[in-house]
Structure 1
Amino acid sequence: MAMQMTGDNTQGEPMMDMNVVPLIDVLLVLLIMFIITIPVQSHAVKLDLPVNDPNQVQPPPIDPVKNKVVVSAAGQVLWNGSPVNLQQLRSYLDVTQQMNPIPELHMQPDATARYELVDQVLAVTKQARVQKMGFVGNEYYTNVF
């Protein structure tokens, strides 16, 4: 509240200064109400994520550094741990040969696997013109012979 204590207002004349305290109070209340009503800003990015479909078969991933082909004793050909047939193996090998740099292919036939299947896998790798290939797990053959 504004009070004027000078000698000019001793005759009981009304004050000419405006009282701004109620105006400031109202403005502060309006400011607080405005701050409360502002929605909280979130920095979330909305994405539509894929839903897992149990009927959809995902192909085994192709590693850009190295891939492993295993011929098991049960007659299965495994590409990075997933069973594939020779046609799928050929398509995966074709994809790897188009990559830059070309990933390595590690061939690991089981010691008791049929040679005929191993030979078919080697023929597929030759037809796909695999450039970087190596045999791993040769230490398992020392106990076979």
Structure 2
Amino acid sequence: MRRPARTLGTAQAIEDTPIAAINTTPLIDVMLVLLIMFVITIPVATNSIDLELPSTEGTPPVKVDLVKNKVVVTPDGRILWNGAQLDSAALSDALRATTRMSPEPELQFQPDAQAGYELSARVLQAIKAAEVTRFGIVGNEQFASFDK
């Protein structure tokens, strides 16, 4: 497309040259629409473990059971059962043994703040697979203050 000439001479020669610039506004509009469509259609990646924790609302206080087992996940990747180190298979066996007891002992889970997420998730999956009914996460009070 040529611009109409307004002046004569050298200026007229410059204005008679075609415009080589591409109008990028429609291109940007199309790219934004495509970006929004991709963001909406891509499913959110979720990795969750469904646990049914007991609620304290409306239930009478439960008597404290004298038999409690504590599972601790350490920062160096160890699983401790009442202070003794276990591997994943031994943990599963211990969890199944406790679910067969009557009454079932309470299981307390305490991951260290520096413990790996993957190991903590595997321990929680083992607890869920063993169908433990008396379960609690303890030790969260140590994280009550974040300014330390």
TM-score, with length taken from structure 1: 0.54
Alignment CA distance shift 1:90-1:144 (3 Å): farther
Letter in 1 for 2:141: E
Report deviation, 1:101: 0.3
Larger C-alpha radius of gyration, 1 or 2? Answer: 1
| 1:133 aligned residue | 135
Percent of aligned positions that are identical = 46
Q: Deviations over 1:13-65 (max 9, x none)?
A: xxxxxxxxxxxxxxxxxxxxxxxxxxxxxxxxxxxxxxxxxxxxxxxxxxx71
Q: Deviations over 1:107-142 (max 9, x none)?
A: 000011111100000000000000000011001223
Preserved contact between residue 69 and residue 105 of structure 1 (Cα < 8 Å):
yes
Gaps of 5+ in 1: 1-63
Task: Tell me how many residue pairs correspond in the alignment.
Answer: 83
Q: Deviations over 1:58-97 (max 9, x none)?
A: xxxxxx7110000011110000000001110000000000
RMSD value, Cα: 1.9
| 1:104 aligned residue | 106
Q: After the TM superposition, which segments of 4 or more aligned residues of structure 1 sit over 4 Å from their partners?
A: none
Q: Secondary structure of 2:95's match? A: helix
| 2:77 aligned residue | 75
Gaps of 5+ in 2: 1-65
